[in-house]
Structure 1
Amino acid sequence: MKSSWKSLAWTGIYIILILSLLTNLSLITALLLIVPVIVLFNILDTKGFMIHVIPVWIVAFLIHPIYLLMALYFAVPAIFMGRCYKRRATALRTIVVGAATILVEMLLLLFIGTVLFQFDLSQYMQDIVNITMKPLQDMVASNGLSTDLLPSTEDMSLLVDMTIQRIPYALIVSSFLMAIISHVIVRPILSGMGYSVPKLIPAREWRFPRSLIWYYLIGVVIDMIAYNSDSGYLNMISANLVPILNVFFAIQAIGFFFYLAYIRKWHSIIPFLIAIPVLLFPPMAIIGILDIAFPLRQLMTKPKR
């Protein structure tokens, strides 16, 4: 009976999240659609799971078919992550599986939109830039200011091209962020229900292989070659490889500061405060590079003579 009430409660939460798509909070609540599906998938068997989620999908369809598509879109990675939780997979594997599923879905949607519906990503980005610049252009025109203050057509085209080149980076990072956020929310919920859910290793133990340094050097070389190159393929790699590696180095740097706080017995809030500038100020990722390339942590623990 207790389990039945829990499943009904989470079904209700799922319906509320679907209905919230009609509000101004839709951008936030859409990201939370993964959570109730994961919980229901873990506390119910397959038949019970379908009995609970299908009525929600019917409600979503009755509101608008687009909401059903959104519900199904987020249900797929939720089911894959839910299977990982049921199989007691490591937290990292669960996050990677969820992120990979979300990324594949994004790429599939982009492919379908381009092939079947003639979706032009370049033109779409151009329209976004034009919409963004329109208020500024109107302000300049209404105040009789010089149009030299505005970006030129060439500058705007360059901005569109750079944005399109960074799309792989944006897709990969956003996929992992969604998977990580879902895990952070779901794990304490399932643990509170008595389910054994592996957690991520402590931040002070985060370490990446030294091979990332070689990938980074390769990325820098490609960046130098692509600087004056007309190759769209090289420019695409250059625009995404080094930024993605910098994310890993930033994570490594955060892990280093958590390790330093642990061995120096700092207050627990200090590494969290240090993590903020690491994330906001990309050059600080060099600390992560040094931590991977050199034995910084061993030096910190080396006894003084």
Structure 2
Amino acid sequence: MKQRFTTIIWSVIYLLLLLSMLTPFSIISAFLVILPVVILFTALDVRSFILHMLPVWLIVGIMSPVYVMLAAYFLIPALAMGYCYRKRSPAMRVLKFGISAILLEMLLLLMIGTAFFQLNLSEYIDEIVKITTAPLEEMGVNSGLAGQIVWTPENLDLLSQRTMQMIPFALIISSFLMTVVTHALARPILNSMGFAVPALKRAREWRFPRSLIWYYLLIWIMSIASHDSNNNFIEMIVINAMPLLQICFMIQALGFFFYLTHLKKWHPIVPFIAAIPIVLFPPMIILGILDLAFPLRQSISNKKR
């Protein structure tokens, strides 16, 4: 009876999140709307899950078909993650399935929009850049900063071009964040409902494949080779791959500090303090690179013994 009441509550939360998707809160709702479906699909059998979904979809469908389209869009990654939870899959596999599902959907929507609805992504980005920079340009003129920041047509075109090239990076990061937020919230909720959900490895055990170093070296060579060339394809690869690899090395460096804190029995707040310079000072990723390239953790552990 308690579980039935809980699932009804989550159905109501799902309805409210869907209704908020066309409001100014849509950015927050987009990161949370997958969560209720994941919980319901994991906790219920297929028949009960459908019975919980139908009333919500009928209500939002009466209000606007757009809500149904949004619900259908977020349903697929939610089912993918819920299926993994049902199978008691490792947490990393859940994240992979969730990220892949969201990313593939985003790419599919771009393809459909371009092929069937004449979506011109370049023009859309140009318009967004103009709308975004207009207040900054006005503020610069009013405050006497126009001489420092000049939004010429050439600068706006360059900004639009760079934004267009960064779309793959934005899609990957968005998919990653949506999946991680969903897992971070779904796991304790499902555990409290009696469904064992595997956790990610502890932060001190985070390690990426050593091959990332070779990828980073390759991208670095490509960035030098494409510096004075007009090869937009290589430039796009570099612009997107470089920050992704740097984020990986930041996570690796953070994992190293968690390991060091555990080994030395330092205060638990130390890794979080260390995260500040790692994020704000990019050269700090060298710690992550060194931790991958050399057995730092093993050598530190052996010294302690």
TM range (shorter): over 0.9
Match of 1:229 in 2: 229
**Cα RMSD over matched residues?**
1.9
Structure-1 separation of matches of 2:201 and 2:143:
57
The one-letter amino acid paired with 2:298 is Q
Trace 1:118-157 onto structure 2 (pairs within 5 A). Answer: 118-139=118-139, 149-157=149-157
The one-letter amino acid paired with 2:160 is V
Q: Is the 8 A contact 2:212 2:245 kept in 1?
A: yes
The one-letter amino acid paired with 1:39 is I
Which 10-residue stretch deviates more, 146-155 or 284-293? 146-155
Task: Rate the CA distance shift 1:296–1:142 in 2: closer, same or farther, 3 A.
Answer: closer
Structure-1 separation of matches of 2:61 and 2:7:
21
Match of 1:271 in 2: 271
Match of 2:294 in 1: 294
The one-letter amino acid paired with 1:124 is Y
> Residues 231-282 of structure 1: CA distance to partner in whole angstroms, max 9, x if unpaired?
2211111111221111111110110010011001111122122223323332
Match of 2:205 in 1: 205
Structure-2 separation of matches of 1:260 and 1:28:
35
| Structure 2 unaligned regions, length at least 5 | none
Quote the offset at 1:24 in angstroms: 3.0
Structure-1 separation of matches of 2:255 and 2:143:
51
Which 10-residue stretch deviates more, 172-181 or 148-157? 148-157
> Residues 86-132 of structure 1: CA distance to partner in whole angstroms, max 9, x if unpaired?
00110011011101100001111111111111111111111111112
Residue aligned with 1:290, SS: helix
Structure-2 separation of matches of 1:39 and 1:163:
36
Structure-1 separation of matches of 2:146 and 2:101:
49
Q: Is the 8 A contact 1:39 1:190 kept in 2?
A: yes
Residues 1:303 and 2:300 aligned together: no
Q: Is the 8 A contact 1:165 1:236 kept in 2?
A: yes
Aligned length: 305
Structure-1 separation of matches of 2:60 and 2:265:
51
Match of 1:88 in 2: 88
Match of 1:51 in 2: 51
| Structure 1 unaligned regions, length at least 5 | none
Q: Give me the TM-score of the superposition, normalised by structure 1.
A: 0.94
Structure-1 separation of matches of 2:79 and 2:28:
20
Q: Give me the TM-score of the superposition, normalised by structure 2.
A: 0.94
Match of 2:101 in 1: 101
Task: Rate the CA distance shift 1:17–1:236 in 2: closer, same or farther, 3 A.
Answer: same
The one-letter amino acid paired with 2:271 is P
Quote the offset at 1:68 in angstroms: 1.6
> Residues 35-84 of structure 1: CA distance to partner in whole angstroms, max 9, x if unpaired?
11001001111111011012111222222222221122111101000000
Quote the offset at 1:139 in angstroms: 4.7
Match of 1:195 in 2: 195
